[in-house]
Structure 1
Amino acid sequence: MISSEHILSQIEKQIHKAKMETNEQVTREAFAAIRALCDVVLDSTISVSPIQSAPVISGQPIALKEEDANGESLFDF
């Protein structure tokens, strides 16, 4: 595993490169490299990501209210 100090030193190099560069494309590449280095650190320290549970739906039917309906049944006309 790469040490976080080594990654931080690489991030600092990319920050220096972004500050000194006048070419927008090279600056954007430095920012992309910084993002990638941060992702490496974050992905290696997080071993389990939380799983979102599906929303619970109650078993009771929802009555729809139509303007021209005669009752709650589907067959009421």
Structure 2
Amino acid sequence: MISNEHIFMQIDKQLVLAKTTGNENTKREALAAIRALCDLALESVPSSSPQAPSVVQTVPIAPTIQQPVALKEDDANGESLFDF
């Protein structure tokens, strides 16, 4: 098993490389290495640890339906479209 301290040293090394290089490809490779090292460190954390991600349950909310508003005109005879 690789110790976290060794992983942190490698992350620091890759971070310095990413900050100091002028080459975009080298910078991307260093950042990808940092991501892989972080994944490696997270895999070594026991699942019963408090740092383990928790499950969040979402509850959908039903949309509210608005009742149509009856329009009244001064010269209308009734509420139907066919009332003239």
Scaled by the length of structure 2, the TM-score of the pair is: 0.56
Query: 1-side partners of 2:53 and 2:20: how far apart?
Result: 37
Aligned counterpart, 1:60: none
**Deviation above 2 Å: which 4+ runs of structure 1?**
46-53
> What per-residue deviation string (whole Å, max 9, x for no partner) do you get for residues 12-64 of structure 1?
000000011000010000000000000001111143876788x8xxxxxxxxx
Structure 1 gap ranges (5+): 56-77
Aligned counterpart, 1:2: 2
Identity, in percent, stands at 52
Structure with more of its chain in helix, by fraction:
1
Larger radius of gyration: 2
Output aligned runs, 1:1-77, within 5 Å: 1-47=1-47
Structure 2 gap ranges (5+): 60-84
Q: How many residues align?
A: 65
For the aligned residue pairs, the C-alpha RMSD in angstroms reads 2.6
| Stretch deviating more after TM superposition (43-52 or 16-25) | 43-52
Scaled by the length of structure 1, the TM-score of the pair is: 0.60
